[in-house]
Amino acid sequence: MATTFTDVLARELRADAARPLVTFYDFATGERVELSVATYANWVAKTASLLVEEADLERGQRLLVDLPAHWLTPVFLGAAWSVGLEVVWDEASGEADGVVTGPSGLAAYAGRAGRQPVVATALLPLGVRFADGVPVGVRDFGLEVWGQPDAFVAWDPPTDGDQATPDWTQGDLMRAAAAGTLLPSSGAVLADGGRLLSEVSPASPSGLASFVEPLARSGSTVFVVGADVVGGRSRLEETYAAERATAHLSPQHLP
């Protein structure tokens, strides 16, 4: 059984590299992005290389990922786990060694750039850079990711005993995801190969399952934002049907 993120992703690439893995809708802007397993793996490889080669992060360190529901959020999770980093949501368990943030956190984290790596993504279509640049010392993901290689092999590969998050080792997380025990029992019920429509960011303790469980069960996730601004429930229902989703995870389902 595959018990690290890298093993699980490699298994999915062998099984069907062309199938959709991550789909993203922003109802407010009209953006739709879909990543196949192969395209997702390519983004993960480039991002992992950036974290190692440019941000100087290494296995065993902590990476604070402060991102909303977006197609790049599971990319950063996968890149961190490929390196062997522990993803944290806050710093109650100790200060992080690096930060990934979006536009909303840029000002708050920019002051750290002199003492630790801060990577910022504009969360724009195609992962492009900030139009107005970033503060001195902050790394603009959309500027630096394109020069990274399309394959990544960790020189110190993580094992199933490496922490994926403060609550989970990689092995325990992947086994729980494969067993279908991560999603809240009050909400989505996902079958193997199922397609989950999620309004929840995977970069959070309660939302982690929204990406990891579909991945481990050969399924996929459709992340949706902006439903509270445009279309509401009727637009969600239309998207659910159009994307052939089989389960739905909303903030109301979370404990």
Q: Where residue 109 sits, what CATH number does that domain have?
A: 3.40.50.12780
Quick one: tokens of 26?
């922003």
How many whole angstroms separate alpha carbon 44 and alpha carbon 38? Answer: 10
Average pLDDT of the segment spanning 68-94:
94
- Residue 21 is encoded by which pair of tokens? 């893995």
β-bridge partners, 20: 36
Residue 254: its pLDDT value, please?
58
Confidence of residue 231 (pLDDT cuts 50, 70, 90): low
- Structure tokens belonging to residue 64: 């604070």
Each residue's pLDDT tens digit, 122-150: 999 989 999 999 999 999 999 999 999 99
What radius of gyration do the chain's Cα atoms show?
17
* Residue 36 CB burial class (10 angstroms; 0-12, 13-18, ≥19): middle
DSSP state of 164: E
d(CA 37, CA 15): 10
Looking at the structure of the chain, the number of domains it has is 1
State the residue range of the domain holding 31.
5-253
45-68: average pLDDT: 97
